A and B are shown apart, each in its own frame.
Chain A
Amino acid sequence: MSPRFEPAIGRYLHLDLLGRPHRLYVEEAGQGVPLLCLHTAGSDGRQYRGLLNDERITRNYRVIVFDMPWHGKSSPPVGWENEDYRLTSRDYVRMILEVSAALGLDKPVVMGCSIGGRIVLHLAHEHPETFRAIIGLESSPKVDPYYDVSWLHRPDVHGGEVSAGIVSGLVAPTAPDDGRWETLWHYMQSGPGVFKGDLYFYMIDGDISDRLDHIDARRCPLYLLTGEYDYSCTTEGTLEVARRTGAQAVIMKDLGHFPMSENPEKFIAYLLPVLEEIRLGKKASAA
Protein backbone atom coordinates (compact mmCIF):
# COMPACT_ATOMS: atom_id res chain seq x y z
CA MET A 1 0.00 0.00 0.00
CA SER A 2 1.33 3.46 -0.87
CA PRO A 3 1.56 5.81 2.09
CA ARG A 4 -1.06 8.52 2.02
CA PHE A 5 -2.52 11.20 4.25
CA GLU A 6 -6.23 11.61 4.79
CA PRO A 7 -7.59 15.06 3.94
CA ALA A 8 -8.72 15.85 7.50
CA ILE A 9 -6.78 18.42 9.51
CA GLY A 10 -6.64 18.16 13.31
CA ARG A 11 -5.84 21.10 15.56
CA TYR A 12 -6.13 22.08 19.21
CA LEU A 13 -8.51 24.90 20.02
CA HIS A 14 -7.98 26.93 23.17
CA LEU A 15 -11.13 28.60 24.44
CA ASP A 16 -13.10 29.43 27.55
CA LEU A 17 -15.82 26.87 27.86
CA LEU A 18 -18.37 26.69 30.66
CA GLY A 19 -16.40 29.42 32.42
CA ARG A 20 -13.05 27.59 32.41
CA PRO A 21 -10.09 27.46 30.04
CA HIS A 22 -10.18 24.38 27.84
CA ARG A 23 -8.05 22.74 25.18
CA LEU A 24 -10.17 20.88 22.65
CA TYR A 25 -9.14 18.70 19.76
CA VAL A 26 -10.96 19.60 16.54
CA GLU A 27 -10.80 17.85 13.18
CA GLU A 28 -12.24 19.12 9.95
CA ALA A 29 -12.33 18.44 6.25
CA GLY A 30 -14.14 19.94 3.29
CA GLN A 31 -15.67 23.25 2.44
CA GLY A 32 -19.10 24.77 2.25
CA VAL A 33 -21.93 24.48 4.74
CA PRO A 34 -20.53 23.84 8.22
CA LEU A 35 -21.58 20.45 9.58
CA LEU A 36 -20.80 20.21 13.30
CA CYS A 37 -20.71 16.58 14.45
CA LEU A 38 -21.22 15.33 18.01
CA HIS A 39 -19.90 11.96 19.12
CA THR A 40 -21.54 9.44 21.44
CA ALA A 41 -21.10 9.01 25.20
CA GLY A 42 -17.73 7.64 26.25
CA SER A 43 -16.23 7.88 22.77
CA ASP A 44 -14.72 10.64 20.64
CA GLY A 45 -14.66 12.32 17.26
CA ARG A 46 -12.89 9.47 15.52
CA GLN A 47 -16.35 7.99 15.06
CA TYR A 48 -16.86 10.40 12.17
CA ARG A 49 -13.78 9.58 10.13
CA GLY A 50 -15.93 7.99 7.44
CA LEU A 51 -17.61 11.34 6.82
CA LEU A 52 -14.37 13.32 6.99
CA ASN A 53 -13.00 11.09 4.26
CA ASP A 54 -15.99 11.03 1.94
CA GLU A 55 -15.61 13.44 -0.96
CA ARG A 56 -19.32 13.26 -1.73
CA ILE A 57 -19.85 15.02 1.61
CA THR A 58 -16.78 17.24 1.87
CA ARG A 59 -17.20 18.86 -1.55
CA ASN A 60 -20.26 20.71 -0.23
CA TYR A 61 -19.87 20.53 3.52
CA ARG A 62 -17.19 21.62 5.95
CA VAL A 63 -17.31 18.65 8.31
CA ILE A 64 -16.16 19.62 11.81
CA VAL A 65 -15.76 17.17 14.68
CA PHE A 66 -14.59 18.07 18.15
CA ASP A 67 -13.76 15.81 21.05
CA MET A 68 -15.78 16.92 24.05
CA PRO A 69 -13.77 17.90 27.14
CA TRP A 70 -12.52 14.74 28.92
CA HIS A 71 -12.89 12.77 25.65
CA GLY A 72 -10.46 11.67 22.96
CA LYS A 73 -7.55 14.07 22.57
CA SER A 74 -9.28 16.93 24.40
CA SER A 75 -8.01 17.51 27.91
CA PRO A 76 -10.13 17.58 30.99
CA PRO A 77 -10.02 21.04 32.59
CA VAL A 78 -7.26 21.86 35.07
CA GLY A 79 -8.26 20.48 38.46
CA TRP A 80 -10.05 17.45 37.01
CA GLU A 81 -8.34 15.20 39.52
CA ASN A 82 -10.46 16.72 42.28
CA GLU A 83 -13.89 16.25 40.71
CA ASP A 84 -16.22 13.67 39.23
CA TYR A 85 -17.11 14.26 35.58
CA ARG A 86 -20.85 14.53 35.05
CA LEU A 87 -22.52 15.88 31.89
CA THR A 88 -25.70 17.93 32.25
CA SER A 89 -28.14 19.21 29.63
CA ARG A 90 -27.31 22.80 30.49
CA ASP A 91 -23.56 22.37 30.13
CA TYR A 92 -23.90 20.28 26.97
CA VAL A 93 -26.01 22.92 25.21
CA ARG A 94 -23.64 25.69 26.29
CA MET A 95 -20.64 23.68 25.16
CA ILE A 96 -22.00 23.25 21.63
CA LEU A 97 -22.97 26.91 21.31
CA GLU A 98 -19.63 28.12 22.67
CA VAL A 99 -17.58 25.81 20.44
CA SER A 100 -19.63 26.85 17.43
CA ALA A 101 -19.11 30.53 18.29
CA ALA A 102 -15.38 30.03 18.89
CA LEU A 103 -15.10 28.47 15.43
CA GLY A 104 -17.06 31.37 13.94
CA LEU A 105 -19.64 29.09 12.35
CA ASP A 106 -22.51 30.79 10.59
CA LYS A 107 -25.73 28.84 10.98
CA PRO A 108 -24.14 25.39 10.93
CA VAL A 109 -25.92 22.14 10.51
CA VAL A 110 -25.52 20.21 13.76
CA MET A 111 -25.57 16.42 13.81
CA GLY A 112 -25.21 14.28 16.92
CA CYS A 113 -25.48 10.61 17.77
CA SER A 114 -26.92 9.00 20.92
CA ILE A 115 -26.23 11.60 23.64
CA GLY A 116 -25.57 13.84 20.64
CA GLY A 117 -28.87 12.73 19.14
CA ARG A 118 -30.56 13.72 22.38
CA ILE A 119 -28.87 17.08 22.85
CA VAL A 120 -29.80 18.16 19.34
CA LEU A 121 -33.42 17.84 20.47
CA HIS A 122 -32.59 20.29 23.27
CA LEU A 123 -31.01 22.56 20.65
CA ALA A 124 -34.13 22.26 18.48
CA HIS A 125 -36.18 23.27 21.49
CA GLU A 126 -34.03 26.11 22.84
CA HIS A 127 -32.02 27.42 19.87
CA PRO A 128 -33.72 26.54 16.58
CA GLU A 129 -32.73 29.87 15.02
CA THR A 130 -29.02 29.14 15.53
CA PHE A 131 -28.88 26.22 13.13
CA ARG A 132 -29.49 25.74 9.43
CA ALA A 133 -30.76 22.24 10.13
CA ILE A 134 -30.51 19.64 12.87
CA ILE A 135 -29.81 15.94 12.37
CA GLY A 136 -30.37 13.48 15.21
CA LEU A 137 -28.80 10.04 14.93
CA GLU A 138 -30.24 7.49 17.33
CA SER A 139 -32.45 10.15 18.92
CA SER A 140 -34.93 9.29 21.60
CA PRO A 141 -36.61 11.51 24.18
CA LYS A 142 -35.32 9.47 27.11
CA VAL A 143 -33.73 6.16 28.05
CA ASP A 144 -34.42 4.74 31.48
CA PRO A 145 -31.43 3.08 33.19
CA TYR A 146 -31.34 -0.62 32.34
CA TYR A 147 -28.12 -1.60 34.10
CA ASP A 148 -26.14 -0.42 37.09
CA VAL A 149 -23.77 2.20 35.68
CA SER A 150 -21.51 1.99 38.75
CA TRP A 151 -19.88 -1.01 37.04
CA LEU A 152 -18.38 1.44 34.55
CA HIS A 153 -16.07 3.08 37.08
CA ARG A 154 -14.63 1.03 39.90
CA PRO A 155 -11.08 -0.06 40.58
CA ASP A 156 -11.66 -3.81 40.27
CA VAL A 157 -13.18 -3.70 36.77
CA HIS A 158 -11.36 -2.41 33.68
CA GLY A 159 -13.42 0.63 32.71
CA GLY A 160 -12.57 0.53 29.02
CA GLU A 161 -13.28 -3.16 28.61
CA VAL A 162 -16.56 -3.09 30.49
CA SER A 163 -17.68 -0.01 28.58
CA ALA A 164 -16.96 -1.76 25.29
CA GLY A 165 -18.74 -4.84 26.62
CA ILE A 166 -21.80 -2.82 27.54
CA VAL A 167 -22.13 -1.20 24.12
CA SER A 168 -21.00 -4.14 21.97
CA GLY A 169 -24.55 -5.39 21.50
CA LEU A 170 -25.66 -1.99 20.28
CA VAL A 171 -23.63 -2.46 17.12
CA ALA A 172 -25.80 -4.08 14.45
CA PRO A 173 -25.14 -7.82 14.13
CA THR A 174 -24.78 -7.17 10.40
CA ALA A 175 -21.95 -4.64 10.84
CA PRO A 176 -18.58 -5.47 9.29
CA ASP A 177 -15.98 -6.66 11.80
CA ASP A 178 -13.61 -3.75 11.22
CA GLY A 179 -16.29 -1.15 11.90
CA ARG A 180 -17.57 -3.05 14.92
CA TRP A 181 -14.19 -3.43 16.60
CA GLU A 182 -12.98 0.07 15.81
CA THR A 183 -16.16 1.40 17.42
CA LEU A 184 -15.45 -0.71 20.51
CA TRP A 185 -11.79 0.33 20.58
CA HIS A 186 -12.86 3.94 21.06
CA TYR A 187 -14.86 2.86 24.12
CA MET A 188 -11.93 0.89 25.46
CA GLN A 189 -9.84 4.08 25.39
CA SER A 190 -12.29 6.25 27.29
CA GLY A 191 -10.97 7.94 30.44
CA PRO A 192 -11.97 6.62 33.87
CA GLY A 193 -15.59 7.45 34.67
CA VAL A 194 -16.16 9.46 31.50
CA PHE A 195 -18.73 7.12 29.94
CA LYS A 196 -20.52 6.95 33.26
CA GLY A 197 -20.47 10.75 33.51
CA ASP A 198 -22.00 11.08 30.06
CA LEU A 199 -24.72 8.61 30.97
CA TYR A 200 -25.91 10.97 33.70
CA PHE A 201 -27.12 13.15 30.84
CA TYR A 202 -28.33 10.20 28.76
CA MET A 203 -30.31 8.39 31.44
CA ILE A 204 -31.19 11.07 33.99
CA ASP A 205 -30.77 14.75 33.23
CA GLY A 206 -31.36 14.80 29.48
CA ASP A 207 -34.93 13.49 29.46
CA ILE A 208 -36.81 15.82 27.10
CA SER A 209 -40.13 13.97 26.98
CA ASP A 210 -42.04 16.84 28.55
CA ARG A 211 -40.81 19.38 25.98
CA LEU A 212 -41.11 17.43 22.74
CA ASP A 213 -44.40 19.08 21.85
CA HIS A 214 -42.69 22.46 21.99
CA ILE A 215 -40.20 21.51 19.29
CA ASP A 216 -41.35 22.62 15.87
CA ALA A 217 -39.47 21.27 12.86
CA ARG A 218 -40.82 24.20 10.83
CA ARG A 219 -38.62 26.56 12.86
CA CYS A 220 -35.51 24.54 12.04
CA PRO A 221 -35.53 21.48 9.75
CA LEU A 222 -35.14 18.37 11.91
CA TYR A 223 -34.07 15.00 10.53
CA LEU A 224 -33.88 11.78 12.53
CA LEU A 225 -31.95 8.71 11.40
CA THR A 226 -32.02 5.61 13.59
CA GLY A 227 -30.62 2.13 13.07
CA GLU A 228 -33.09 -0.72 13.22
CA TYR A 229 -30.89 -2.69 15.66
CA ASP A 230 -30.59 0.10 18.23
CA TYR A 231 -32.32 -1.18 21.37
CA SER A 232 -31.09 1.73 23.51
CA CYS A 233 -32.43 4.63 21.48
CA THR A 234 -35.25 2.61 20.02
CA THR A 235 -36.89 3.11 16.67
CA GLU A 236 -40.14 3.59 18.59
CA GLY A 237 -38.55 6.46 20.53
CA THR A 238 -37.37 8.10 17.32
CA LEU A 239 -40.77 7.77 15.67
CA GLU A 240 -42.38 9.32 18.74
CA VAL A 241 -40.05 12.31 18.44
CA ALA A 242 -40.93 12.62 14.76
CA ARG A 243 -44.65 12.41 15.42
CA ARG A 244 -44.55 15.08 18.10
CA THR A 245 -42.16 17.51 16.40
CA GLY A 246 -42.82 17.18 12.67
CA ALA A 247 -39.30 15.86 12.06
CA GLN A 248 -38.52 13.59 9.14
CA ALA A 249 -37.54 10.15 10.41
CA VAL A 250 -35.82 7.31 8.62
CA ILE A 251 -35.23 3.88 10.14
CA MET A 252 -31.94 2.61 8.73
CA LYS A 253 -31.68 -1.07 7.79
CA ASP A 254 -28.69 -3.10 8.94
CA LEU A 255 -27.46 -0.37 11.28
CA GLY A 256 -27.28 -0.07 15.05
CA HIS A 257 -26.44 2.60 17.61
CA PHE A 258 -23.20 3.81 15.97
CA PRO A 259 -24.08 4.14 12.30
CA MET A 260 -21.24 6.49 11.33
CA SER A 261 -18.50 4.27 12.74
CA GLU A 262 -19.89 0.73 12.68
CA ASN A 263 -20.79 0.86 9.00
CA PRO A 264 -19.91 4.24 7.45
CA GLU A 265 -20.66 3.26 3.88
CA LYS A 266 -24.17 2.10 4.67
CA PHE A 267 -24.83 5.12 6.89
CA ILE A 268 -23.58 7.67 4.38
CA ALA A 269 -26.01 6.28 1.81
CA TYR A 270 -28.79 7.36 4.19
CA LEU A 271 -27.13 10.66 5.07
CA LEU A 272 -26.38 11.97 1.58
CA PRO A 273 -30.00 12.65 0.54
CA VAL A 274 -30.58 14.49 3.83
CA LEU A 275 -27.50 16.67 3.32
CA GLU A 276 -28.54 17.34 -0.25
CA GLU A 277 -32.01 18.38 0.81
CA ILE A 278 -30.58 20.72 3.42
CA ARG A 279 -28.15 22.22 0.92
CA LEU A 280 -30.76 22.74 -1.76
CA GLY A 281 -33.12 24.21 0.80
CA LYS A 282 -30.47 26.72 1.65
CA LYS A 283 -29.99 27.50 -2.03
CA ALA A 284 -33.72 27.91 -2.53
CA SER A 285 -34.03 30.35 0.37
CA ALA A 286 -30.99 32.32 -0.77
CA ALA A 287 -32.30 32.69 -4.33
Chain B
Amino acid sequence: MNAFRFSWPGRVPASRSPLARYRRQLWLLLAPFLAGALLLIGLPALLTFGLAFTRYDALTPPVWSGWANFAAILQREVFWIAARNTLVFAGAAALLQVLGALGLALLLHPARRGVHLYRGGVYLTTILPDVAYALIWLWLFNPLYGPVNLVLGGIGLPQPAWLIDPATALPSLIAMAAFRVGEGMLLLIAARQALPAAYYQAAMLDGAGRWAIFRHITWPLLVPWLLLLFVRDIVVAAHSTFTAVYIMTGGGPGYATTLLPYLVFEEAFSHLRIGQAAAMLTLLFAAIALFVWFVYRRLGAWGYADDL
Protein backbone atom coordinates (compact mmCIF):
# COMPACT_ATOMS: atom_id res chain seq x y z
CA MET B 1 0.00 0.00 0.00
CA ASN B 2 1.87 3.00 -1.26
CA ALA B 3 -1.12 5.25 -0.92
CA PHE B 4 0.69 8.26 0.40
CA ARG B 5 3.80 8.19 -1.68
CA PHE B 6 2.59 10.59 -4.36
CA SER B 7 4.06 14.07 -4.13
CA TRP B 8 1.85 16.84 -2.92
CA PRO B 9 1.35 19.63 -5.49
CA GLY B 10 1.29 23.30 -4.58
CA ARG B 11 3.38 25.80 -2.77
CA VAL B 12 2.78 24.60 0.77
CA PRO B 13 6.03 23.95 2.68
CA ALA B 14 6.60 20.21 2.99
CA SER B 15 6.36 20.15 6.77
CA ARG B 16 2.95 21.88 6.75
CA SER B 17 1.38 19.96 3.88
CA PRO B 18 -1.71 17.90 4.73
CA LEU B 19 0.24 14.78 3.87
CA ALA B 20 2.95 15.57 6.41
CA ARG B 21 0.24 16.32 8.95
CA TYR B 22 -1.40 12.96 8.28
CA ARG B 23 1.97 11.25 8.67
CA ARG B 24 2.50 12.99 11.99
CA GLN B 25 -0.92 11.83 13.13
CA LEU B 26 0.03 8.28 12.22
CA TRP B 27 3.21 8.51 14.29
CA LEU B 28 1.11 9.88 17.14
CA LEU B 29 -1.11 6.78 16.99
CA LEU B 30 1.99 4.63 16.97
CA ALA B 31 3.57 6.52 19.87
CA PRO B 32 2.07 4.51 22.77
CA PHE B 33 3.34 1.27 21.28
CA LEU B 34 6.81 2.63 20.63
CA ALA B 35 7.05 4.35 24.02
CA GLY B 36 5.81 1.25 25.82
CA ALA B 37 8.17 -1.01 23.89
CA LEU B 38 11.06 1.30 24.82
CA LEU B 39 10.17 1.80 28.50
CA LEU B 40 8.85 -1.66 29.36
CA ILE B 41 11.00 -3.93 27.18
CA GLY B 42 13.85 -2.09 25.48
CA LEU B 43 15.32 -0.18 28.41
CA PRO B 44 14.68 -2.98 30.96
CA ALA B 45 16.43 -5.48 28.71
CA LEU B 46 19.38 -3.10 28.33
CA LEU B 47 19.42 -2.50 32.09
CA THR B 48 19.52 -6.26 32.68
CA PHE B 49 22.42 -6.43 30.26
CA GLY B 50 24.17 -3.62 32.15
CA LEU B 51 23.53 -5.14 35.58
CA ALA B 52 25.24 -8.32 34.38
CA PHE B 53 28.51 -6.41 34.74
CA THR B 54 27.85 -5.18 38.28
CA ARG B 55 27.62 -6.49 41.80
CA TYR B 56 24.14 -5.56 42.97
CA ASP B 57 21.92 -6.73 45.82
CA ALA B 58 19.02 -4.23 45.47
CA LEU B 59 19.94 -2.65 48.84
CA THR B 60 23.17 -0.81 48.00
CA PRO B 61 23.89 0.84 44.64
CA PRO B 62 25.37 -1.43 41.95
CA VAL B 63 29.16 -1.64 41.77
CA TRP B 64 30.95 -2.20 38.44
CA SER B 65 32.60 -5.59 38.45
CA GLY B 66 33.44 -6.28 34.82
CA TRP B 67 33.23 -9.90 33.76
CA ALA B 68 33.33 -11.20 37.35
CA ASN B 69 29.69 -12.36 37.28
CA PHE B 70 30.20 -14.36 34.12
CA ALA B 71 33.33 -15.96 35.54
CA ALA B 72 31.44 -16.75 38.75
CA ILE B 73 28.39 -18.38 37.17
CA LEU B 74 30.49 -20.40 34.73
CA GLN B 75 32.17 -21.97 37.75
CA ARG B 76 28.92 -22.77 39.53
CA GLU B 77 27.71 -26.30 38.98
CA VAL B 78 24.05 -25.35 39.35
CA PHE B 79 24.29 -23.06 36.34
CA TRP B 80 25.55 -25.87 34.13
CA ILE B 81 22.87 -28.22 35.45
CA ALA B 82 20.19 -25.62 34.72
CA ALA B 83 21.64 -24.92 31.28
CA ARG B 84 21.70 -28.61 30.41
CA ASN B 85 18.16 -29.09 31.77
CA THR B 86 16.93 -26.11 29.75
CA LEU B 87 18.54 -27.47 26.59
CA VAL B 88 17.04 -30.94 27.11
CA PHE B 89 13.65 -29.53 28.00
CA ALA B 90 13.47 -27.06 25.12
CA GLY B 91 14.73 -29.52 22.52
CA ALA B 92 12.53 -32.43 23.58
CA ALA B 93 9.41 -30.34 24.25
CA ALA B 94 9.70 -28.47 20.94
CA LEU B 95 10.23 -31.69 18.99
CA LEU B 96 7.22 -33.37 20.59
CA GLN B 97 5.11 -30.24 20.10
CA VAL B 98 5.94 -30.01 16.40
CA LEU B 99 5.33 -33.72 15.77
CA GLY B 100 2.12 -33.60 17.80
CA ALA B 101 0.92 -30.50 15.97
CA LEU B 102 1.71 -32.18 12.63
CA GLY B 103 -0.19 -35.34 13.55
CA LEU B 104 -3.18 -33.36 14.78
CA ALA B 105 -3.15 -31.09 11.73
CA LEU B 106 -3.08 -34.05 9.33
CA LEU B 107 -5.94 -35.67 11.24
CA LEU B 108 -8.07 -32.56 11.69
CA HIS B 109 -7.46 -30.56 8.51
CA PRO B 110 -10.39 -31.90 6.41
CA ALA B 111 -13.45 -29.66 6.51
CA ARG B 112 -15.85 -32.29 7.81
CA ARG B 113 -18.82 -32.09 10.09
CA GLY B 114 -17.78 -31.79 13.72
CA VAL B 115 -14.19 -30.93 12.95
CA HIS B 116 -14.56 -27.57 14.72
CA LEU B 117 -15.48 -29.38 17.91
CA TYR B 118 -12.41 -31.60 17.73
CA ARG B 119 -10.08 -28.70 16.99
CA GLY B 120 -11.68 -26.68 19.76
CA GLY B 121 -11.24 -29.51 22.24
CA VAL B 122 -7.56 -29.91 21.40
CA TYR B 123 -6.97 -26.15 21.52
CA LEU B 124 -8.58 -25.83 24.94
CA THR B 125 -5.48 -27.01 26.85
CA THR B 126 -3.45 -24.29 25.18
CA ILE B 127 -5.55 -21.41 26.49
CA LEU B 128 -5.62 -22.48 30.14
CA PRO B 129 -3.77 -20.15 32.53
CA ASP B 130 -0.24 -21.43 33.27
CA VAL B 131 -0.91 -21.71 37.01
CA ALA B 132 -4.08 -23.74 36.51
CA TYR B 133 -2.40 -25.96 33.92
CA ALA B 134 0.56 -26.62 36.23
CA LEU B 135 -1.69 -27.40 39.21
CA ILE B 136 -3.85 -29.76 37.14
CA TRP B 137 -0.76 -31.68 36.02
CA LEU B 138 0.59 -31.70 39.55
CA TRP B 139 -2.61 -33.54 40.48
CA LEU B 140 -2.52 -35.80 37.39
CA PHE B 141 1.07 -36.81 38.23
CA ASN B 142 0.43 -37.52 41.92
CA PRO B 143 2.12 -40.92 42.46
CA LEU B 144 -0.54 -42.28 44.85
CA TYR B 145 -3.93 -41.09 43.67
CA GLY B 146 -3.18 -39.12 40.51
CA PRO B 147 -5.26 -40.21 37.51
CA VAL B 148 -2.18 -41.05 35.42
CA ASN B 149 -1.02 -43.67 37.86
CA LEU B 150 -4.56 -44.90 38.54
CA VAL B 151 -4.90 -45.60 34.81
CA LEU B 152 -1.46 -47.22 34.62
CA GLY B 153 -2.26 -49.36 37.66
CA GLY B 154 -5.65 -50.25 36.20
CA ILE B 155 -4.05 -51.79 33.11
CA GLY B 156 -1.24 -53.39 35.09
CA LEU B 157 1.67 -51.13 34.07
CA PRO B 158 4.38 -49.88 36.45
CA GLN B 159 3.54 -46.64 38.25
CA PRO B 160 6.51 -44.22 38.29
CA ALA B 161 6.78 -41.52 40.94
CA TRP B 162 6.86 -38.84 38.19
CA LEU B 163 7.76 -35.49 39.74
CA ILE B 164 9.11 -37.03 42.95
CA ASP B 165 11.77 -39.14 41.21
CA PRO B 166 14.80 -37.25 39.84
CA ALA B 167 14.92 -39.60 36.85
CA THR B 168 11.35 -38.92 35.69
CA ALA B 169 10.81 -35.34 36.92
CA LEU B 170 12.15 -33.54 33.84
CA PRO B 171 10.50 -35.97 31.39
CA SER B 172 7.23 -35.33 33.25
CA LEU B 173 7.54 -31.59 32.60
CA ILE B 174 8.33 -32.32 28.95
CA ALA B 175 5.25 -34.55 28.64
CA MET B 176 3.14 -31.82 30.17
CA ALA B 177 4.47 -29.22 27.72
CA ALA B 178 3.87 -31.60 24.79
CA PHE B 179 0.10 -31.31 25.21
CA ARG B 180 0.04 -27.58 24.55
CA VAL B 181 0.06 -27.75 20.76
CA GLY B 182 -3.07 -25.78 19.86
CA GLU B 183 -1.36 -22.87 18.13
CA GLY B 184 1.00 -25.09 16.19
CA MET B 185 -1.92 -27.25 15.10
CA LEU B 186 -3.88 -24.23 13.81
CA LEU B 187 -0.82 -22.97 11.93
CA LEU B 188 -0.21 -26.36 10.30
CA ILE B 189 -3.90 -26.85 9.46
CA ALA B 190 -3.83 -23.52 7.66
CA ALA B 191 -0.59 -24.49 5.89
CA ARG B 192 -1.95 -27.92 4.92
CA GLN B 193 -5.18 -26.43 3.57
CA ALA B 194 -3.15 -24.03 1.45
CA LEU B 195 -1.49 -26.92 -0.43
CA PRO B 196 -2.99 -27.27 -3.94
CA ALA B 197 -5.57 -30.08 -4.15
CA ALA B 198 -4.40 -30.78 -7.72
CA TYR B 199 -1.19 -32.38 -6.41
CA TYR B 200 -3.21 -34.87 -4.39
CA GLN B 201 -5.64 -35.65 -7.21
CA ALA B 202 -2.75 -36.28 -9.60
CA ALA B 203 -1.05 -38.57 -7.09
CA MET B 204 -4.26 -40.52 -6.51
CA LEU B 205 -4.79 -40.96 -10.25
CA ASP B 206 -1.29 -42.40 -10.38
CA GLY B 207 -2.36 -44.86 -7.69
CA ALA B 208 -0.06 -43.52 -4.96
CA GLY B 209 -0.71 -44.86 -1.47
CA ARG B 210 -1.27 -42.74 1.63
CA TRP B 211 2.32 -43.08 2.82
CA ALA B 212 3.74 -42.22 -0.61
CA ILE B 213 1.53 -39.14 -0.80
CA PHE B 214 2.64 -38.02 2.65
CA ARG B 215 6.28 -38.80 1.95
CA HIS B 216 6.51 -37.08 -1.45
CA ILE B 217 3.91 -34.30 -1.30
CA THR B 218 2.75 -33.29 2.17
CA TRP B 219 6.04 -33.60 4.03
CA PRO B 220 8.31 -31.68 1.61
CA LEU B 221 5.77 -28.88 1.26
CA LEU B 222 5.22 -28.57 5.01
CA VAL B 223 8.88 -28.75 6.04
CA PRO B 224 9.39 -24.95 5.99
CA TRP B 225 6.42 -24.51 8.33
CA LEU B 226 7.63 -27.31 10.61
CA LEU B 227 11.02 -25.64 10.91
CA LEU B 228 9.46 -22.27 11.64
CA LEU B 229 7.28 -23.86 14.31
CA PHE B 230 10.22 -25.78 15.76
CA VAL B 231 12.28 -22.61 16.16
CA ARG B 232 9.36 -20.79 17.76
CA ASP B 233 8.66 -23.66 20.15
CA ILE B 234 12.30 -23.89 21.20
CA VAL B 235 12.43 -20.17 21.94
CA VAL B 236 9.18 -20.28 23.89
CA ALA B 237 10.14 -23.45 25.77
CA ALA B 238 13.53 -21.99 26.72
CA HIS B 239 12.13 -18.96 28.53
CA SER B 240 8.52 -19.58 29.55
CA THR B 241 8.89 -22.40 32.06
CA PHE B 242 9.08 -20.40 35.26
CA THR B 243 5.48 -20.87 36.41
CA ALA B 244 5.43 -24.63 35.87
CA VAL B 245 8.67 -25.19 37.80
CA TYR B 246 7.73 -22.75 40.57
CA ILE B 247 4.32 -24.36 41.13
CA MET B 248 5.14 -28.02 40.55
CA THR B 249 8.65 -28.85 41.72
CA GLY B 250 10.49 -25.80 43.04
CA GLY B 251 13.40 -26.94 40.88
CA GLY B 252 13.65 -30.32 42.61
CA PRO B 253 14.06 -33.08 43.45
CA GLY B 254 17.67 -31.98 43.88
CA TYR B 255 18.26 -29.82 40.83
CA ALA B 256 16.48 -32.24 38.47
CA THR B 257 13.98 -29.64 37.19
CA THR B 258 15.95 -26.44 37.80
CA LEU B 259 15.55 -24.60 34.50
CA LEU B 260 17.25 -21.29 33.77
CA PRO B 261 14.23 -18.95 34.20
CA TYR B 262 13.55 -20.47 37.62
CA LEU B 263 17.22 -20.25 38.61
CA VAL B 264 17.28 -16.60 37.55
CA PHE B 265 14.21 -15.87 39.66
CA GLU B 266 15.72 -17.59 42.69
CA GLU B 267 19.08 -15.85 42.29
CA ALA B 268 17.51 -12.43 41.86
CA PHE B 269 14.59 -12.45 44.29
CA SER B 270 15.53 -15.04 46.93
CA HIS B 271 19.32 -14.67 47.13
CA LEU B 272 19.51 -11.08 45.85
CA ARG B 273 22.48 -11.96 43.62
CA ILE B 274 21.06 -9.71 40.95
CA GLY B 275 24.28 -9.28 38.99
CA GLN B 276 24.68 -13.02 38.55
CA ALA B 277 21.01 -13.45 37.65
CA ALA B 278 21.41 -10.76 34.99
CA ALA B 279 24.52 -12.47 33.65
CA MET B 280 22.62 -15.75 33.32
CA LEU B 281 19.82 -13.98 31.47
CA THR B 282 22.33 -12.34 29.16
CA LEU B 283 23.83 -15.72 28.29
CA LEU B 284 20.37 -17.26 27.77
CA PHE B 285 19.32 -14.42 25.51
CA ALA B 286 22.59 -14.55 23.58
CA ALA B 287 22.14 -18.30 23.05
CA ILE B 288 18.58 -17.84 21.79
CA ALA B 289 19.55 -14.93 19.52
CA LEU B 290 22.47 -16.92 18.09
CA PHE B 291 20.22 -19.91 17.47
CA VAL B 292 17.54 -17.85 15.72
CA TRP B 293 20.14 -16.02 13.65
CA PHE B 294 21.76 -19.31 12.63
CA VAL B 295 18.45 -20.86 11.58
CA TYR B 296 17.46 -17.69 9.76
CA ARG B 297 20.69 -17.73 7.76
CA ARG B 298 20.34 -21.40 6.90
CA LEU B 299 16.71 -21.02 5.89
CA GLY B 300 17.62 -18.06 3.71
CA ALA B 301 20.19 -20.30 1.99
CA TRP B 302 17.47 -22.89 1.33
CA GLY B 303 15.30 -20.40 -0.52
CA TYR B 304 12.86 -20.32 2.34
CA ALA B 305 11.00 -17.23 1.16
CA ASP B 306 10.10 -18.93 -2.14
CA ASP B 307 8.49 -21.83 -0.34
CA LEU B 308 6.19 -19.54 1.56
> A and B, one complex?
no
Taking Cβ atoms with an 8 Å cutoff, the residues of B that contact A are none
